[in-house]
């Protein structure tokens, strides 16, 4: 009886998981399909799932109309740049919070996290004015700075969680063995925490790649990443669903591929510390 | 050289005094064991000597030099941790080489020292393995190897055997004792296991609630404990305590007698009781005797003791084997 009911619940949960995954994936799937339709089929009142005239003309149009590779390069520079600089700041911060704790460490961590709860629009005007005054509008440097600051709390939190998993005694042993703080971090802490650091980097690359609010506001042409490239297809001329879908597919493809290959690492990284 | 002197050393965490003002002289080359129940401050004091914890007040001198605020690496001490604290991403060879590399020892000399440590600790076959591929005992040996290559002036052991199973613990205990005999380096060893303390130590310091109750050789502590705490902590099974309803002439309110000093007689003795649980260990037998007007007394008898549950017995002891404690728990000297 018990086995039967546990099998039953297994089937129910599996079905539930598949349905939720399908629901989440459906918009992406539909976008991909639409990108291969003509504009007329894309807005058809009775859309067909597979029975349409497959065409690559949307992709050709998009590539002809916009400098896709420039946007792609901007996305790479902004997401990778901000994630790497973020790591440089977050690693020492997380090290001190994890291993040199004071009474206020927890409060500091909570305060850092609370900045993520603030709607970004709340700081829109000051940041915009600062960018204008420092000539950072529509520059990759400006976006790297903003993305670094936005994602820093998440990076510190993630690294803090990984570092807490490392027994303090190992670092103390290295101190007894004559390691300076630099040697302790580079020879002991970082190699042990490498999986956690890698998943922090990956997640932040993805977050920065997908960030749209600041990129749309702070860039125009020179530094516009792929998010701005997609947005340019919802223009005053009207919505061209098929082209918009082709642009979206091209914008998300690189990060989707990266995510696919690193999913094992990402899942391990995100559940790290949850189960001891 | 490896003498360590603690002068009025204290440690407080916020308002809690973990170590109360404490003096201790650790002689060069001696094996001293800090023993006491959990939370008595023994590990904290070891970490203070190592430099891993700050000293709230007082001084720590190593070889006559004040080292109170010297960083851990500069104290010339090596520590072996309870969890071994090996570097999981490095091979055994690199674990042992780590302190030498930090000290910028030439590579040829490093190789030589690794080989010598591996020989002493039987690690030759494992040098290229990672700690994760080793058993508990092997890991502990690597941790000791990492400590000995530095040729420290003293070794600090923080409950190094508590993660090992019982039989391995006995072996490692012997190995550490042998290591001490061959290296003749000062060793400070923290444990809560009084058997380890008794078997390994030249001298034992018994800790209780942040103070040292008594320092002495294992036999001194066994024979002449200064108070009830030390008397109860040293010796296995524990000393029996018999509370007295009315104080004796010398002020004794409690008597203490070790299980091995109680004699079983068939006719007349100090106490009369009924045998409770009988534990046969082969070489010896422990009887738990319910004594009238007192608690249960543990008695150590021969291995072939034939007494059984429910038997009536008389118990006695040589007067000079009975310790007397005053109302403060201090031992009253035999007069």
How many angstroms separate the first and last alpha carbons of chain B? Answer: 42
Chain centroid to Cα B196, Å, comes to 5
Contact criterion met (CB < 8 Å) for A169 and B81:
yes
- A45 with A70, same domain: the answer is no
pLDDT tens-digit series, residues A251-260: 888 888 888 8
Residue scoring higher pLDDT (A264 or B256): B256
- A112 with A185, same domain: the answer is yes
- A147 with A15, same domain: the answer is no
Is A53 a member of any domain?
A: yes
Is A82 a member of any domain?
A: yes
- A92 with A221, same domain: the answer is yes
Identify the CA nearest to A210 among candidates A238, A223, A229: A229
The residues pairing with A275 across neighbouring beta strands, listed in sequence order, are: A272
| Length of chain B in terms of residues written | 335
Chain centroid to Cα B207, Å, comes to 10
Q: How many CB atoms lie within 10 A of CB B249?
A: 5
Nearest-CA distance from B125 to chain A in Å? 24
Contact criterion met (CB < 8 Å) for A175 and B79:
no
What's the CATH code of the domain at A214?
Answer: 1.10.3720.10
Is A269 a member of any domain?
A: no
Please state whether beta strands B254-257 and B154-158 pair in parallel, antiparallel, or not at all (unpaired). unpaired
pTM of this prediction exceeds 0.95: no
Is A187 a member of any domain?
A: yes
Is A135 a member of any domain?
A: yes
Nearest to A178 among B82, B83, B102 (CB): B102
Q: Which domain holds residue A7?
A: 2-57
- B60: confidence class by pLDDT, cuts 50, 70, 90: very high
Q: Are B202 and B216 in contact (CB under 8 A)?
A: no
Nearest-CA distance from A171 to chain B in Å? 8
Is A240 a member of any domain?
A: no
Is the CB of A122 inside 8 Å of chain B's CB atoms?
no
pLDDT tens-digit series, residues B86-141: 999 999 999 999 999 999 999 999 999 999 989 888 888 889 999 989 988 889 88
Q: Please tell me the distance from the alpha carbon of residue B208 to that of residue B38, in angstroms, as a whole number.
A: 9
Nearest to A169 among B73, B85, B150 (CB): B85
Q: How many CB pairs under 8 A join A and B?
A: 55
Is the CB of A187 inside 8 Å of chain B's CB atoms?
yes
pLDDT tens-digit series, residues B188-225: 999 999 999 999 999 999 999 999 999 999 999 999 99
CA distances from A49 to A42, A54, A243 (A): 11, 11, 18
* Token pair in block for residue B90: 């490095």
- What helix, strand, coil percent values describe chain B, rounded to 5? 30, 35, 35
- A82 with A187, same domain: the answer is yes
Chain centroid to Cα A114, Å, comes to 19
Per-domain boundaries in chain B: 4-230, 240-332
Helix and strand numbers (H, E) in chain A are 14, 2
- The hierarchical CATH code for the domain B240-332 is 2.40.50.140
Nearest to A178 among B52, B73, B82 (CB): B73
From edge to edge, which strands make up the β-sheet containing B323-325?
Answer: B240-243, B254-257, B323-325, B331-332
- A50 with A83, same domain: the answer is no
Mean pLDDT across A141-158: 93
Q: Collect all residues of chain B within an 8 Å Cβ-Cβ radius of residue A173.
A: 79, 81, 85-87, 146
Q: Are B116 and B194 in contact (CB under 8 A)?
A: no
Contact criterion met (CB < 8 Å) for A167 and B72:
no
| Length of chain A in terms of residues written | 276
- A41 with A156, same domain: the answer is no
Nearest CA in chain B to A182: B102
Q: Collect all residues of chain B within an 8 Å Cβ-Cβ radius of residue A188.
A: 87
Is A91 a member of any domain?
A: yes
Q: Collect all residues of chain B within an 8 Å Cβ-Cβ radius of residue A191.
A: 89
Nearest-CA distance from A257 to chain B in Å? 30
Q: Collect all residues of chain A within an 8 Å Cβ-Cβ radius of residue B98.
A: 174, 177, 179, 187
Is the CB of A102 inside 8 Å of chain B's CB atoms?
no
Give chain A's domain count. 2
ipTM value, please give it: 0.84
Contact criterion met (CB < 8 Å) for B81 and A173:
yes
Nearest to B87 among A175, A176, A188 (CB): A188
- A74 with A202, same domain: the answer is yes
Contact criterion met (CB < 8 Å) for A178 and B103:
yes
- A18 with A155, same domain: the answer is no
Identify the CA nearest to B64 among candidates B28, B32, B33: B28
Tell whether omega for the bond before B237 is within 30 degrees of 0, i.e. cis: yes
Q: Tokens 């923290």 — which residue? A: B190
Is the CB of A190 inside 8 Å of chain B's CB atoms?
no
pLDDT tens-digit series, residues A61-111: 888 888 888 989 999 999 999 999 999 999 999 999 998 888 899 999 999
Q: Please tell me the distance from the alpha carbon of residue A190 to that of residue B243, in angstroms, as a whole number.
A: 59
pLDDT tens-digit series, residues A22-61: 999 999 898 888 889 888 777 777 777 777 778 888 888 8
Q: Collect all residues of chain B within an 8 Å Cβ-Cβ radius of residue A174.
A: 87, 98
Helix (H, G, I), strand (E, B) or coil at B57: strand
pLDDT at res. B299: 94
Nearest to A172 among B85, B88, B150 (CB): B85
Is A77 a member of any domain?
A: yes
- A275: confidence class by pLDDT, cuts 50, 70, 90: very low
Nearest-CA distance from A102 to chain B in Å? 12
- A81 with A49, same domain: the answer is no
**CATH 1.10.10.10 given to domain B4-230:** no
Nearest-CA distance from A172 to chain B in Å? 7
- A94 with A160, same domain: the answer is yes
């Amino acid at each position: 009886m018990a086995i039967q009911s546990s099998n039953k619940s297994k089937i129910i949960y599996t079905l539930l998981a598949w349905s939720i995954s399908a629901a989440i994936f459906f918009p992406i799937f539909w976008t991909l399909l639409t990108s291969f339709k003509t504009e007329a089929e894309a807005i058809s009142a009775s859309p067909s799932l597979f029975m349409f005239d497959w065409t690559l003309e949307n992709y050709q149009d998009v590539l002809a109309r916009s400098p896709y590779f420039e946007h792609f390069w901007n996305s790479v520079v902004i997401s990778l740049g901000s994630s790497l600089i973020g790591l440089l700041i977050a690693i020492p911060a997380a090290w001190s919070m994890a291993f040199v704790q004071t009474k206020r460490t927890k409060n500091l961590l909570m305060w850092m996290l609370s900045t993520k709860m603030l709607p970004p629009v709340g700081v829109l005007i000051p940041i915009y004015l600062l960018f204008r005054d420092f000539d950072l509008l529509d520059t990759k440097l400006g976006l790297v700075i903003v993305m670094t600051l936005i994602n820093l709390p998440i990076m510190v939190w993630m690294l803090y969680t990984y570092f807490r998993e490392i027994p303090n005694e190992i670092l103390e042993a290295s101190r007894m063995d004559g390691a300076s703080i630099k040697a302790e971090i580079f020879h002991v802490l970082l190699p042990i925490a490498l999986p956690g650091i890698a998943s922090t980097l990956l997640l932040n690359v993805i977050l920065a790649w997908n960030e749209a609010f600041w990129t749309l506001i702070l860039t125009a042409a020179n530094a516009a990443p792929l998010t701005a490239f997609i947005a340019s297809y919802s223009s005053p001329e009207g919505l061209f669903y098929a082209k918009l879908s082709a642009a979206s597919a091209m914008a998300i493809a690189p990060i989707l591929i990266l995510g696919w290959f690193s999913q094992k690492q990402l899942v391990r990284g995100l559940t790290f510390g949850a189960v001891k | 050289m490896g003498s360590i002197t603690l002068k009025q050393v204290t440690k407080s965490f916020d308002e809690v005094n973990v170590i109360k003002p404490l003096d201790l002289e650790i002689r060069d080359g001696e094996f001293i064991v800090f023993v006491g129940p959990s939370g008595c401050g023994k590990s904290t004091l070891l970490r203070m000597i190592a430099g891993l914890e700050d000293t709230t007040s007082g001084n720590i001198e190593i070889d006559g030099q004040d080292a109170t605020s010297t960083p851990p690496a500069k104290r010339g001490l090596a520590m072996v941790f309870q969890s071994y604290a090996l570097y999981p991403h490095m091979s055994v060879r690199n674990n042992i080489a780590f302190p030498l590399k930090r000290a910028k020892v030439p590579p040829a000399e490093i190789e030589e020292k690794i080989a010598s440590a591996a020989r002493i600790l039987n690690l030759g076959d494992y040098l290229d393995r990672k700690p994760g591929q080793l058993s508990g005992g092997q890991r502990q040996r690597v941790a000791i190897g990492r400590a000995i290559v530095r040729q420290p002036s003293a070794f600090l052991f923080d409950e190094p055997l508590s993660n090992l199973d019982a039989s391995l613990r006995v072996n490692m205990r012997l190995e550490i004792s042998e290591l001490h005999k061959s290296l003749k380096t000062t060793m400070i060893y923290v444990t809560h296991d009084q058997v380890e303390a008794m078997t390994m130590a030249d001298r034992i310091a018994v800790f209780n609630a942040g103070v040292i109750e008594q320092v002495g050789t294992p036999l001194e502590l066994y024979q002449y404990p200064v108070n009830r705490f030390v008397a109860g902590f040293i010796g296995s099974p524990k000393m029996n305590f018999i509370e007295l309803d009315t104080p004796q002439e010398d002020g004794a309110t409690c008597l203490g007698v070790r299980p091995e000093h109680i004699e079983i007689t068939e006719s007349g003795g100090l106490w009369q009781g009924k045998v409770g649980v009988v534990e046969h260990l082969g070489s010896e037998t422990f009887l738990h005797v319910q004594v009238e007007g007192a608690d249960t007394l543990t008695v150590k008898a021969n291995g072939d003791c034939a007494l059984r549950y429910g038997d009536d017995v008389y118990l006695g002891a040589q007067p000079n084997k009975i310790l007397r404690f005053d109302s403060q728990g201090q031992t009253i000297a035999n007069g």
